[in-house]
Amino acid sequence: MRRALVVQRLEAFLLGPARLVLAVIATVTLLHSWMELTFSNLPYVLILAALALQGASAYLEARVIPPQYPRERKSGALSIRDVPEGVADQWIAMNSGVRSDRPED
């Protein structure tokens, strides 16, 4: 669990902002080179670097963070995916605030 927390913090505080900054700089340099009608490899290198950061981030999340690791939804609710049905039923029985989003047959 500690590694999952480290990966989430790495994504939130380093990889995410770095990806955004690289994408913005790449877009600006690409537009600048198009306006000047010159060719430069720099914008394409920056775009590839941003894509590499995205790939590294996806790989770390898929390999390190277990599927049952709690995640916060946009609404602020806590979500735990891929919980076995029996465990989910026990949680619901023990706490009335727990809901299941599984489709009902």
Q: Which amino acid is residue 44, in one-letter code?
A: Y
Please write the tens of the pLDDT for every residue from 84-96: 778 878 877 887 7
- Cα separation, 37 vs 75, in Å, equals 46
Domain map of the chain by residue range? 2-65, 69-105
pLDDT band at 105; cut points 50, 70, 90? very low
Q: Is the pTM of this model over 0.75?
A: no
- Cα separation, 38 vs 22, in Å, equals 21
* pLDDT at residue number 81: 72
pLDDT greater than 80 at residue 78: no
Q: Region 49-78: what's the mean pLDDT?
A: 75
CA dihedral angle for residue 59, residue 13, residue 17, residue 78, rounded to 10 degrees: 70
